[in-house]
Amino acid sequence: MTSERIEALKKRREKERNQMTNRNQNLYAWLLLAAVILLSTALLVNQSPYMWVFPIGIMLGFTLERSRFCFAAAVRNPLIVGTTKLLQAVILALMVSTLGFFILQIVTVDINNFQISEIPGSLRPVGWNTVIGGILFGTGMVIAGGCASGTLMRIGEGFTLQIVVLGAFVGGSVLSGVFHYPFWHDLLIEGRTVIYLPQLIGFFPALILQLSVLGILFAAARKLGKMR
């Protein structure tokens, strides 16, 4: 909320500041938009395997930037300053996606007789590797000022620092994913399996349980956000 004194200050600073170079960036925006549309059309016409990932990726990046959405901030802000609007939004997104993924999963497989490998989605083994990886990732995300998608978005906005982050990210991936992978695989990952909730408790109970847990978390985040 603004105040009279802030309005006065705004007027004064507007006057004081040097004539801002008022060239807008519309020309570049139109050029890039044209290139994106052309490329998307070409991919579609040629039935390229990338005909969907390209336009959807563009929309994902656009949405992230347009709304200043940041997964790192969603985790970090509640911890350092107690603001939770982003966290609430992330939980809301998880609820919407849960519903969408659920519908897709039950129409894709026979719910009485299915293999884990047939289920559409991101299903991966769980074990101590998840815990260690998650802790390392969470620590790094706060220190680097952004997660993987955030880093890509910031490079698009022109942040030189995030190019360094991306380089280090690639380096870290190679270190654990290539050079140290045999070690971690033998120690923690070998023999771990996917734990798919509907397989344990049934499809509809899993949906209800997950939506309830997310709902409770949403309410808790909301309450935390209102406390001073």
Partner 1 sequence: MKEEFLDCLYEPCPIPLLKALKKLNKMKAGDLLIMKTDHNCSITNVIEWVDKQGHKMDYIEVGKGEWEIYIEKVVSDG
Partner 2 sequence: MDKLYHKVLKAPWPYWVAAIVLSLLNISLLILTGSPWRVTSGFLYWGMWILEKLGYNDFTGSYFALHGGLAGGETFLVNSVSILNAAVLLGALLSVLISSEFKWRRIKNPKQVGFAIFGGLLMGYGARLAFGCNIGAFFSAIPSFSLHGWVFALSMGAGGVIGSRIMMRYMV
Closest to 63 (Cα-Cα) out of 71, 17, 227: 71
3-state secondary structure labels for all residues of 198-222 = HHHHCHHHHHHHHHHHHHHHHHHHH
Asked whether position 6 contacts partner 2 by CB under 8 A, the answer is no
In the bound state with partner 2, the residue whose beta carbon lies nearer, of 27 and 227, is 27
Residue type, 148: A
Binds 17: which of partner 1, partner 2, none (CB < 5-8 Å by kind): partner 1
- Binding-site size, partner 2 (CB under 8 A): 118
Asked whether position 148 contacts partner 2 by CB under 8 A, the answer is yes
Whether the CB-CB separation of 197 and 119 falls below 8 Å is answered with no
In the complex, minimum distance from the CB of residue 81 to partner 1, in angstroms, rounded to a whole number: 5
Instruction: Give the CA angle between residues 106, 107, 108 to the nearest 5°.
Output: 90
Q: How many CB atoms lie within 10 A of CB 200?
A: 9
Residues 42-81 that bind partner 1 (CB under 8 A): 68, 70, 72-73, 76-77, 80-81
Question: Which one of 9, 38, 42, 161 is in contact with partner 2 (CB under 8 A)?
Answer: 161
Question: Which one of 44, 109, 114, 166 is in contact with partner 2 (CB under 8 A)?
Answer: 166
In the bound state with partner 1, the residue whose beta carbon lies nearer, of 109 and 142, is 142
